[in-house]
Structure 1
Amino acid sequence: MSKAVLVYRGEYLESTHDVHVAVVNAEGELLYSYGDPNRFTFPRSSMKPFQAVPLVESGAAEAFNYSAAEISLSCASHSGEPFHRETVLDILHRVGLEENHLQCGTHIPRDMESYHQLIREGKELSPVFSNCSGKHSGMLATTVYMKEDVNTYREVAHPHQQRILEAIEQVCDFPKEQIQISVDGCGVPVHQLPLKNVALGFARLAKPEAFTEGKRAQTLSTIRDSMIKHPEMVGGTKRFDTDLMKVYNGRIVAKAGAEAVQCLADLETGIGIAIKVEDGTPRATSVVTMEVLKQLGIGNEEMFAELEEYVHVPVLNARQDKIGVVKANFQLEKAIQEGK
């Protein structure tokens, strides 16, 4: 049986990965798919643009003078580089809180130089290093603005988490009663829904004009444009989301999620793409993403050449020698006629 992703060690096949892909337009029509586009999936951090909706829509971002870079950071899974951490701390200062109000926990940041500097200084890891500290600072800012309890902001019953649930219901067009809720790695609620509905959310991020009433269209436009303008905030140095958005120069919004999820919004065609690698292995996500973009005709040869390390992910040994490669091996299936 053919597998969607092949991992080679030298010339020999060593491992494989199954994947699921949904490509949807802003009307909710499934255009292309692979695997199971209805697979119930926790998009994990890919949902951060929608978790940021209440920050913007409530007026909190405006009240606390959020810049576009800071809105982008609220959607981030950042690397913990100095500019990420400094921005989070500045936001907390403006809303009258301290770092210890962040309830995202701690982990070693992707930016190893920052971690090594911390060790040299004899300091402990703190929550600002968490890749989710931008999201959590945005949640706290909204909670402060709405005069709600900052100590329970991450609990599912908190008004802010209910605002997020309602935003996801509306943007992804899936009843909140059917959204399964668990706990994300950073302690806040995480939402499980069909992959094609996640793709729909990103299609509406690309083309929010579907929302004709209220602030929603402007809110999504603000979040989308902030991420495009400041892709370095979304990920960081040598991160796929950041590099992809830079190379596509205003056309693509990209947001990865843990357990090998990748979502995209294409502003030119207005489509949303949601990808899930079945076994949760992240090495396959960029390979699948670039193959989907290639098959959909999104991008050109120069772009793919610039992103080559993500198109054919190298397998490295402990000496950092390239001794293999990860390759795509699938064909999208057309779901409906174009122009229907």
Structure 2
Amino acid sequence: MGEQQRPVHVYRGGCLESVHEVDIAVVDCNGKILFSYGDPNRPTFARSSMKPFQAVPILETGAAKYFSFDAADIALFCSSHNGEAIHRSRVLSLLETVGKDETSLQCGTHIPRDLDSYKNLIRDGKDLTPVFSNCSGKHTGMLATCVYLNEEAKTYRELDHPHQQRILNVISTICDFNPESIGIGVDGCGVPVHQLPLNHIAMGFARLSQPDKMMDQIYVQSLKKIRDSMMAYPEMVAGTNRFDTDLMKTFDGEIVAKAGAEGVQCIGLADSGLGIAIKVEDGNGRAASVAAMKVLKELNIGDEKEHHMLQSYIEPAVKNMSGNVVGKITAEFQLENKEFA
């Protein structure tokens, strides 16, 4: 790749063990690519990075106002949470508010990132339930909107359901991409997932970071509310020891961030109105936060204090089973400046 274009490297001892190729797009709210690495136009399933846009109909339909959802609730609708007590209790409370219970959630379940919660569940002899799913907040928001609009709730995750069509139209508008050209798959939690060029995903986050810059003023107020909610309650978006939460806490009010499965990381810069979208080619999420911190450094975002607070994401340690440090992960690429290319 050349000496000046080296991607994310994994070292064991002093030896290179693995390499993660990455694609990066940094764009403004009009979609102009300002900086890039790899293929900034790569067709990409943004996975959970789309959750802030999937939450827009909750506000646009009036469901959020009707049910008096607050900022922490809205942040949870955008989350890929750890399944900690704060996440589970709020999901259950929201379900009660809309007159539903866990059996109405169609997100399935999995072992949560919060292993203490899982161990307690095992000790109590209980089974995993949908509330532990990292997507239970998103599904609760979808379900609440259907209840408010008196739409069929049992099929809310199907592509032809009115709610999923609303989401498709929102993503098409905000990311400025023809809905007929958006690739559709099924996400891990069962709802439709959308494939767009990486630069259009970055555009969506540019507009999330500064909604007022959108030429079409549709969704502006909803995007502002979602952005502000995520930044005000970053612990609801992810949780303890998670990159999205720690990044938004460190850059309080300056950054909105949302990771996605298969090595996707998206960031909106509130001060400059830029959007960043990153895709790790092999889908390994361990490279995404490292690449993201490298991008922020190259864009001169943050000072020495902030970078120190996020050091564990800048150059994560590789540890063995005993917890000893045996290597490191580093980002060694340089962004290409498209403005002067």
Match of 2:185 in 1: 182
The counterpart of 1:243, out of the listed 223, 243, 246, is 246
Q: Is residue 165 of structure 1 aligned with residue 168 of structure 2?
A: yes
Which runs of 5 or more structure 1 residues have no equivalent in the other structure? Answer: none
Greater shift after overlay, 210-219 or 285-294? 210-219
Deviation at 1:214, TM superposition (A): 5.9
Match of 1:294 in 2: 297
Q: Which amino acid aligns with 1:51?
A: Q
Once residues 211 and 21 of structure 1 are traced to their aligned partners in structure 2, the CA distance between those partners, rounded to angstroms, is: 22
Q: Calculate the TM-score normalised by the size of structure 2.
A: 0.98
Q: Which amino acid aligns with 1:66?
A: F
CA 1:49/1:145 → structure 2, altered by over 3 Å: closer, same or farther? same
After TM superposition, the structure 1 = structure 2 runs for residues 168-317 of structure 1, keeping only pairs within 5 Å, are: 168-211=171-214, 216-317=219-320
Match of 2:109 in 1: 106
Q: Per the alignment, in what secondary structure is the counterpart of residue 150 of structure 1?
A: coil
After TM superposition, the structure 1 = structure 2 runs for residues 16-31 of structure 1, keeping only pairs within 5 Å, are: 16-31=19-34
Q: Which amino acid aligns with 2:137?
A: G
Deviation at 1:209, TM superposition (A): 1.1
Once residues 296 and 206 of structure 1 are traced to their aligned partners in structure 2, the CA distance between those partners, rounded to angstroms, is: 16
Is the 8 Å Cα contact of residues 25 and 199 (structure 2) preserved in structure 1?
A: yes
Deviation at 1:27, TM superposition (A): 1.5
Percent identity reads: 59
Once residues 116 and 156 of structure 2 are traced to their aligned partners in structure 1, the CA distance between those partners, rounded to angstroms, is: 31
Match of 2:85 in 1: 82
Summarize deviations over 1:297-324 as a string: whole Å, max 9, x none: 1111111111000000111100011100
Which runs of 5 or more structure 2 residues have no equivalent in the other structure? Answer: none
Match of 1:141 in 2: 144
Once residues 22 and 43 of structure 1 are traced to their aligned partners in structure 2, the CA distance between those partners, rounded to angstroms, is: 13
CA 1:120/1:228 → structure 2, altered by over 3 Å: closer, same or farther? same
Match of 1:65 in 2: 68
Q: Which amino acid aligns with 2:310?
A: L
Equivalent pairs, count: 338
Summarize deviations over 1:77-99 as a string: whole Å, max 9, x none: 00000010010011110101111
Deviation at 1:210, TM superposition (A): 3.3
Is the 8 Å Cα contact of residues 57 and 215 (structure 1) preserved in structure 2?
A: no
The counterpart of 1:96, out of the listed 99, 103, 122, is 99
Once residues 215 and 26 of structure 2 are traced to their aligned partners in structure 1, the CA distance between those partners, rounded to angstroms, is: 23
Summarize deviations over 1:271-307 as a string: whole Å, max 9, x none: 0000000000111111100000000011111111110
Q: Which amino acid aligns with 1:74?
A: F
Q: Which amino acid aligns with 1:72?
A: A
Match of 1:53 in 2: 56
Deviation at 1:211, TM superposition (A): 3.9
Q: Per the alignment, in what secondary structure is the counterpart of residue 114 of structure 1?
A: helix
Match of 2:132 in 1: 129
CA 1:300/1:156 → structure 2, altered by over 3 Å: closer, same or farther? same
Match of 1:335 in 2: 338
Q: Which amino acid aligns with 2:144?
A: A
Is the 8 Å Cα contact of residues 260 and 282 (structure 1) preserved in structure 2?
A: yes
Q: Per the alignment, in what secondary structure is the counterpart of residue 191 of structure 1?
A: strand
Q: Calculate the TM-score normalised by the size of structure 1.
A: 0.98
Match of 1:12 in 2: 15
Is the 8 Å Cα contact of residues 256 and 268 (structure 2) preserved in structure 1?
A: yes
Is the 8 Å Cα contact of residues 29 and 214 (structure 2) preserved in structure 1?
A: no
Summarize deviations over 1:127-152 as a string: whole Å, max 9, x none: 00000000000000001111100000
Deviation at 1:337, TM superposition (A): 4.7
**Runs of 4 or more off by more than 3 Å in structure 1?**
210-215
Q: Per the alignment, in what secondary structure is the counterpart of residue 224 of structure 1?
A: helix
Once residues 259 and 145 of structure 2 are traced to their aligned partners in structure 1, the CA distance between those partners, rounded to angstroms, is: 24
After TM superposition, the structure 1 = structure 2 runs for residues 34-53 of structure 1, keeping only pairs within 5 Å, are: 34-53=37-56
Once residues 92 and 209 of structure 1 are traced to their aligned partners in structure 2, the CA distance between those partners, rounded to angstroms, is: 33
Q: Which amino acid aligns with 2:172?
A: E
Summarize deviations over 1:20-42 as a string: whole Å, max 9, x none: 00000012111000000000000
Match of 1:152 in 2: 155
